[in-house]
Amino acid sequence: MTAREIASSVRAGDRSAVQILDEHLARIDAREGEIHAFNHVMADEARRSAEAVDATIAAGGDPGPLAGVVVAVKDNLCTRGVPTTCSSHILGQWRPPYDATVIQRLADAGATIVGKTNLDEFAMGSSTENSAFGATRNPVDTTRVPGGSSGGSAAAVAAGFASVSFGSDTGGSIRQPAALCGVVGVKPTFGRVSRYGLIAFASSLDQIGPFATDVADAALCIEVVAGHDRRDSTSIPEAFPPLGVELGRGVDGLRIGVVTELLGDGVEPEVAARTREAADSLAAAGATVEEVSVPATVFGLSAYYLIAPAEASSNLARFDGVRFGLREERSSMPETYDATRTAGFGAEVKRRIMLGTYALSAGYFDAYYGKAQKVRTTIIRDFESAYESYDALISPSSPCVAFRLGDKTADPMAMYRNDVSTVPSSLAGHPAMSVPFGSGADGLPVGIQVMAPALGEPMMFRVAAAIEEAAT
């Protein structure tokens, strides 16, 4: 059942929110031990909110567009009074004193928030193996990773633990796990969704977005949470456009580019083949589809893996054992800082903090961080030039299907290469989403990435809906 069907049945009084919740909790009971999608299942809080929805219905009210829909949220989104860990020991079992704006808007729309999902520590990773609480497994094949960093949110939807879920995407952390788990995942335009209450990783890149089993559910989710928020100074003032009308419009007459550089070396042959088939299906539906070069995208990884760690090294300075989370107390404050951060952060987080500190340090700033920021400009210019001739661009969401646990943990650079298709749109601040399209090696899901210019969500969803229709 889609989230749309659940919400309409609950709003019509045909089914109760508590009934819907119980069905999801039963699936969690049956399979969570094997998947580990959650850091924390909020069974009691979820029941209270489902009961409140049912009470509203009984009183003749309307709980909202997500009435009774069971939603899972990444454990880097603050939930008042409920542990929020970023899958890091350094936050301990910290319970935030406020809700993220996204959490508030979901609750206001009648959603039932069922739990906090696992992630790579502080959203740094592409497999969810960097969690301090153990890896999440891919529900499609439990010997494989779900992707990351929002692997728990992707797995929760793929396993039926939640109808929809939310993650954060800094360099592909929604789109890549969506692809690997065979679900839809959306990174909106930077600034579309308020980040108030999202624990920051890289502030010029972080964006919140939904996972869903189909494109229309993803559209519904984003409509609920998007829009201006005075508590996020980077929030875009423009109202978010309705997406429903876009989904049935088809692609007749559109111009769609297939990005040459993102189909190059390192892309698995079957992933490349599915991408070309998706392109062919768009052409068959009336679009003009051509290969297009966006040259600077090949430098995306290099720019991203300097800019994101640099911003992270600054953002993660706040974890110092003074105000929240872990404290490893020593006889002086400086020793306490060292002991707390050394004990609290995992290896990948330390690696990125040091990389970022180095890239920002005197003598190296121009050679690394300064240069990366110029590459970022070049990527934006190349995209803008492509969007003069094309309405949307497509590529694989990930160069490979889900890989085995442990396959890439020994070599950070090998793990970083998973992000090659997703980082360019992140650096540009553009919207991009992943739509399932057939399968690759070993029958594992393949995702097609649809990219659009800033504020281009209507066009992006229109193309995504056409790809989804061709896939089914």
Which sequence positions are flagged as catalytic?
A: 74, 149, 173
Give CA 260 to chain center in angstroms: 24
Closer CB to other proteins, 67 or 316, in the complex:
316
Q: How far is the CB of 426 from other proteins (least distance, A)?
A: 9
Footprint (CB under 8 A) of other proteins, residues 376-415? 376-378, 380, 412-413
Footprint (CB under 8 A) of other proteins, residues 162-201? 190-191
The one segment of 47-55, 100-108, 239-247, 300-308 that binds other proteins by CB under 8 A: 300-308
Count of CA atoms in the C-beta half-sphere (13 A) of 247: 12
Q: Which two tokens stand for residue 233?
A: 């100074």
Asked if residue 265 binds other proteins (CB under 8 A), the reply is no
In the shown chain, the binding pattern of residues 213 to 252 toward other proteins, with x for contact by CB under 8 A and - for none, equals -----------------x--xx-x----------------
Query: How many angstroms separate the Cα of 165 from the Cα of each of 13, 135, 426, 436, 442?
Result: 24, 18, 20, 16, 26
The residue count for binding other proteins (CB under 8 A) is 74
Burial label for 412, CB within 10 Å (0-12, 13-18, 19+), is: middle
Count of CA atoms in the C-beta half-sphere (13 A) of 219: 22
- For the chain, the straight-line distance linking the first and the last C-alpha, in angstroms and rounded, comes to 16
Footprint (CB under 8 A) of other proteins, residues 9-68? none
Q: How far is the CB of 435 from other proteins (least distance, A)?
A: 23
The one segment of 113-121, 158-166, 261-269, 421-429 that binds other proteins by CB under 8 A: 421-429
Choose which of 26, 30, 245, 333 interacts with other proteins (CB under 8 A): 333
In the shown chain, the binding pattern of residues 195 to 214 toward other proteins, with x for contact by CB under 8 A and - for none, equals ---------x----------
Choose which of 38, 122, 240, 337 interacts with other proteins (CB under 8 A): 337
Q: How far is the CB of 411 from other proteins (least distance, A)?
A: 8
Footprint (CB under 8 A) of other proteins, residues 349-368? 350-351, 353-355, 357-358, 361-364, 366-368
Nearest to 176 by CA among 151, 159, 195: 151
| Cα angle, residue 168 at apex, residues 163 and 174 outer, rounded to 5° | 65
Count of CA atoms in the C-beta half-sphere (13 A) of 419: 30
- Amino acid letter, residue 51: E
Footprint (CB under 8 A) of other proteins, residues 57-116? 94-98
- Which residues lie below 8 Å from residue 338, measured CB to CB, with a gap of 6+? 330
Asked if residue 318 binds other proteins (CB under 8 A), the reply is no
Q: How far is the CB of 272 from other proteins (least distance, A)?
A: 22
Q: How far is the CB of 343 from other proteins (least distance, A)?
A: 9
Closer CB to other proteins, 66 or 451, in the complex:
451
Helix, strand, coil fractions of the chain, as percent rounded to 5:
45, 15, 40
Contact 20, 46 (CB under 8 A): no
- Residue 73's DSSP bridge partners are 116, 166
